[in-house]
Amino acid sequence: MTPIYSDLENKIVLVTGASRGIGNSIAKALAAQKAHVVFNYRGDETKAAALKEELEACGASKVSALNFDITDYDKMKESIDAFIKENGNISGLVNNAGISKDQLVMRVKSEDIDSILGVNLKATMMLTNHLSRNFLRAKDVSVVNMSSIVGLMGNVSQSVYAASKAGLIGYTKSFAKELASRNIRCNAVCPGFIATQMTDELSDKAREEYQKSIPMGDFGSSEDVSNLTLFLLSQASRYITGEVIKVDGGLYI
Amino acid sequence: MEMQEKVIKIVSDATKVEAGNIKGETNFVDDLNLDSLDMVEMMMKMEEEFGVEIPEDKTEELKTINDVTNFLKSNAN
């Protein structure tokens, strides 16, 4: 069940990492709210065109595909600035792009730390910081950072990923404090175990073990995360900022 | 309208301080109580009005109305 947020209609929202998983669900959910959905892609024109078509079919008022890798800051800035010049200010941002590489702490290499923090934390900060001037000109601005339950509770083999997601929470709160006086909001969402391609690939035994650890007894769906994200992007949550909200079926109570 | 007058008008509109009370030597922080975020917004307004880009690192050097006017004059097309 997804409510309609009338203020999301025509709202220009940029979603990073929209090609699959939770990001894809969020982009589709925004399209269904008739938002102007903007996503970035890294070079594959065919896949980008297919996603654009898919989002248009979901009902988006407009879909814009921007060709940049979020770690290529010059290209990101150039692409974002050109988009704003043509379309107007972006008033919603969903920082969802992220990577992970599971490994024990003794096996973590320096370059793994650089790449995971580089995408999950630094690129998110660079993109959001770059957009902050545009946010000062825009109305009803809301930024949603996709953190993770792992950023709150830690996890075996995910030390770097957990650090990046915990870092995102500190960034979320600082950004929220710094720009609250301008009615620019920023919140973090912490998904728990969400049914995605990754959980589909688990063995039955592993799946059962994970499910047992969740008080509500099952994985969440990507729609559970997109529903919260829509609420945070909409003015229905106008007095909520700097908040960290779990979508985890009670996993981390 | 002289550039200085235009600058004073923008500052006056943004701060609600009467234009007559804003002089060339008026300091944004000490006299008008602007914080760093206010300054960013003020410089953005200047950029929009005069079509001149004010680099972020330059903003810190622009402490008074005269500083801003001189910068805009020397960087205007």
The whole-model pTM stands at 0.94
A93 close to A38: Cβ distance less than 8 angstroms: no
DSSP H/E element including A206: helix A204-212
What Å distances lie between residue A186 and A57, A124, A161, A173, CA to CA? 29, 13, 21, 7
Per-residue burial over A76-100, b if 16 or more Cβ lie within 10 Å, else e, is beeebeebbeeeeebbbbbbbbbeb
Candidates A175, A145, A151; CA nearest to A163 is: A151
Q: What is the DSSP letter of A203?
A: -
pLDDT in tens, A58-73: 999 999 999 999 999 9
> Using the beta-carbon criterion (under 8 Å), do A181 and B44 form an inter-chain contact?
no
Q: What is the DSSP letter of A10?
A: T
Interface check B53 vs A, CB under 8 A:
no
- Which residue in the set A133, A178, A181 is minimally distant from B44, CB to CB? A133
pLDDT band for position B77 (50/70/90)? low
Q: Nearest-CA distance from B9 to chain A in Å?
A: 20
Q: What is the mean pLDDT of chain A?
A: 96
pLDDT score for A31: 98
Interface check B56 vs A, CB under 8 A:
no
Candidates A249, A250, A232; CA nearest to A241 is: A232
Architecture of domain B3-14+23-75: Orthogonal Bundle (1.10)
Please report residues of A whose CB lies closer than 8 A to that of B41. 136
> Using the beta-carbon criterion (under 8 Å), do B37 and A133 form an inter-chain contact?
no
B66 close to B7: Cβ distance less than 8 angstroms: no
pLDDT score for A203: 85
Please report residues of B whose CB lies closer than 8 A to that of A137. 44
Q: Is the pLDDT of residue A229 over 80?
A: yes
Return the domain boundaries, chain B.
Answer: 3-14+23-75
Please report residues of A whose CB lies closer than 8 A to that of B37. 178-179, 181-182
**Which member of A41, A161, A171, A252 is catalytic?**
A161
> Using the beta-carbon criterion (under 8 Å), do B37 and A181 form an inter-chain contact?
yes
Please report residues of A whose CB lies closer than 8 A to that of B44. 133, 136-137
> Using the beta-carbon criterion (under 8 Å), do B44 and A178 form an inter-chain contact?
no
Angle at A83 between CA A133 and CA A89, to 5 degrees: 40
Q: By mean pLDDT, which of A28-32, A238-242, B55-59 is the weakest? A: B55-59
Residue A56 DSSP SS3: helix
Per-residue burial over A219-243, b if 16 or more Cβ lie within 10 Å, else e, is bbebbbbbbbbbbbbbbebeeebbe
pLDDT band for position B57 (50/70/90)? confident
> Using the beta-carbon criterion (under 8 Å), do B37 and A179 form an inter-chain contact?
yes
A249 close to A212: Cβ distance less than 8 angstroms: no
pLDDT score for A15: 98
A161 has catalytic annotation? yes
pLDDT score for A201: 77
Candidates A78, A192, A171, A79; CA nearest to A121 is: A171
A105 close to A159: Cβ distance less than 8 angstroms: yes
**Which member of B35, B38, B57, B67 is catalytic?**
B35
pLDDT in tens, A86-119: 999 999 999 999 999 999 999 999 999 999 999 9
Q: What is the mean pLDDT of chain B?
A: 93
String of DSSP letters for A131-178: HHHHHHHSSSEEEEEE--HHHHH--TT-HHHHHHHHHHHHHHHHHHHH
Q: What average pLDDT score do residues A181-204 get?
A: 89
Q: What average pLDDT score do residues A41-48 get?
A: 93
How many Cβ pairs within 8 Å bridge chains A and B? 10
